[in-house]
Amino acid sequence: MLRSSALTLAALLSPALIAAAPADPYLWLEDIEGPRAIAQVERWNADTDRLLRADPAFERDRARARAILDDESQIALPDQVLGDRVMNLWRDAKNPRGLWRSTDLASYLAGKPVWKTVIDVDALGKAEGKSWVWHEADCLAPDYTRCLISLSPGGTDADVVREFDLATGRFVSGGFTVPEAKSDVAWVDKDTLLVATDYGAGSLTASGYPRIVKRWQRGTPLASATIVKEGAVGDMTLAPRVEQDGDRRWTFLNRALSFYTAELWLEGEGGRLVRTPVPESAELRAVIGGRMIVFLNDPLGDIPAGSLVAWPLADVAAGKAGAPETVLEPTARAVIEDVRATDHILWVKQLDDVSGALLALTRDPATGAWTRRAVPLADKATVHLVGAADKRDMIFASVEGMLTPPSLMAAGPEGPARTVQQLAPRFDASRFTVEQRFAISKDGTRIPYFLARKKGVAGPVPALIHAYGGFRAAQTPTYLTTEPYRAGPLGLFWVEDGNAYVLANIRGGGEYGPAWHAAALREKRQNAFDDLTAVAEDLMKTGVSEKGRIAISGRSNGGVLVGAAMTQRPDLYGAVIAGSPLEDMKRYSHLSAGASWIDEYGDPDKPQDWAFMAGWSPYQNVRKGVKYPPAFFYLSTKDDRVHPGHARKMAAKLKDYGNPVYYHEYREGGHSVGADHAEDAVRAALLHAFLRREIGGETK
The answer to the question of residue 58 being in a domain is: yes
**What is the residue range of 663's domain?**
39-67+428-695
Could you report the per-residue pLDDT of 373-409, keeping only the tens digit for each? Answer: 999 998 889 999 999 999 999 999 999 999 999 999 9
| Cα gap 1→20, rounded to integer Å | 17
Contacts of 431 (CB under 8 A, 6+ apart): 454, 455
Q: ∠ CA(335), CA(340), CA(344), 5° rounding?
A: 115
Residue 427's pLDDT band (boundaries 50, 70, 90)?
A: very high
pLDDT at 154: 87
Buried b / exposed e along 456-476 (16+ C-beta atoms within 10 A): eeeebbbbbbbbbbbbbbbbb
Say yes or no to pLDDT of 204 above 50. yes
pLDDT at 3: 28
Could you report the per-residue pLDDT of 212-259, keeping only the tens digit for each? Answer: 999 999 999 999 999 999 999 999 999 999 999 998 999 999 999 999
How many residues in total does the chain contain? 700
Could you report the per-residue pLDDT of 587-605, keeping only the tens digit for each? Answer: 999 999 999 999 999 999 9
Could you report the per-residue pLDDT of 333-353, keeping only the tens digit for each? Answer: 999 999 999 999 999 999 999
Contacts of 485 (CB under 8 A, 6+ apart): 466, 478, 555
Mean pLDDT of 415-437: 96
Largest CA distance in the chain: 73
The one catalytic residue in 556, 589, 636, 672 is: 556
The answer to the question of residue 219 being in a domain is: no
Say yes or no to pLDDT of 19 above 60. no
| Cα gap 371→366, rounded to integer Å | 13
* DSSP notation for 298-332: S-BTTBPTT-EEEEEHHHHHTT---SPEEEE---S
pLDDT at 185: 98
Mean pLDDT of 493-514: 97
pLDDT at 674: 60
Mean pLDDT of 94-121: 96
pLDDT at 224: 97
CA distances for 611 relative to 336, 403, 585, 601, angstroms: 34, 44, 12, 12
Q: Structurally, how many domains does the chain consist of?
A: 1
The answer to the question of residue 89 being in a domain is: no
The answer to the question of residue 500 being in a domain is: yes
The answer to the question of residue 566 being in a domain is: yes
| Cα gap 564→343, rounded to integer Å | 47
- What is the distance between the terminal CA atoms of the chain, rounded to a whole angstrom? 43
| Percentage of residues in the chain having pLDDT higher than 70 | 96
Residue 675's pLDDT band (boundaries 50, 70, 90)?
A: low
The answer to the question of residue 195 being in a domain is: no
Beta-sheet pairing, 463-466 with 550-555? parallel
| Percentage of residues in the chain having pLDDT higher than 90 | 91
Report which of residues 92 and 138 the model is more confident about: 138
Say yes or no to pLDDT of 20 above 60. no
Say yes or no to pLDDT of 8 above 60. no
Could you report the per-residue pLDDT of 276-322, keeping only the tens digit for each? Answer: 999 999 999 999 999 999 999 999 999 999 999 999 999 999 999 99
| Cα gap 133→505, rounded to integer Å | 31
Say yes or no to pLDDT of 90 above 80. yes
Say yes or no to pLDDT of 672 above 80. no
Residue 269's pLDDT band (boundaries 50, 70, 90)?
A: confident
Could you report the per-residue pLDDT of 560-588, keeping only the tens digit for each? Answer: 999 999 999 999 999 999 999 999 999 99
The single-letter DSSP state of residue 618 is T
CA distances for 532 relative to 420, 548, 620, angstroms: 38, 15, 20
| Cα gap 424→441, rounded to integer Å | 38
Could you report the per-residue pLDDT of 465-487, keeping only the tens digit for each? Answer: 999 999 999 999 999 999 998 89
Beta bridge partners of 328: 308
User: Among candidates 698, 694, 634, which has minimal Cα distance to 667?
Assistant: 634
Mean pLDDT of 101-124: 97
CA distances for 680 relative to 485, 676, 683, angstroms: 11, 7, 5
Say yes or no to pLDDT of 13 above 50. no
**Cβ pair 678, 666 in contact under 8 A:** no
Q: Is the dihedral of CA 206, 209, 213, 219 positive or negative?
A: positive
**Which amino acid would we find at residue 377?**
L
Is 556 assigned a catalytic role? yes
Neighbours of 167 (CB within 10 A): 9
pLDDT at 673: 63
The one catalytic residue in 466, 643, 664, 671 is: 671
Residue 459's pLDDT band (boundaries 50, 70, 90)?
A: confident
The answer to the question of residue 453 being in a domain is: yes
CA distances for 159 relative to 24, 136, 197, 253, 597, angstroms: 33, 10, 10, 21, 21
| Cα gap 381→367, rounded to integer Å | 35
| Chain center to CA of 695 | 29
**Which amino acid would we find at residue 194?**
L
Average pLDDT value for the chain: 94
What CATH number corresponds to the domain at position 638? 3.40.50.1820
| Cα gap 659→638, rounded to integer Å | 27
Is 384 assigned a catalytic role? no
Mean pLDDT of 630-643: 95
The single-letter DSSP state of residue 35 is H
Contacts of 336 (CB under 8 A, 6+ apart): 295, 306, 307, 308, 328, 330, 348, 349, 350, 513
The answer to the question of residue 482 being in a domain is: yes
SS3 of 128-184: the string is HCCCEEEEEEEECCCCCCEEEEEEEECCCCCEEEEEEECCCCEECCCCCEEEEECCE
Enter the pTM of the model: 0.90
Mean pLDDT of 86-111: 95
CB pairs under 8 A, 24+ apart, for 24-27? Answer: 24/587, 24/649, 26/648, 26/649, 26/652, 26/653, 27/649
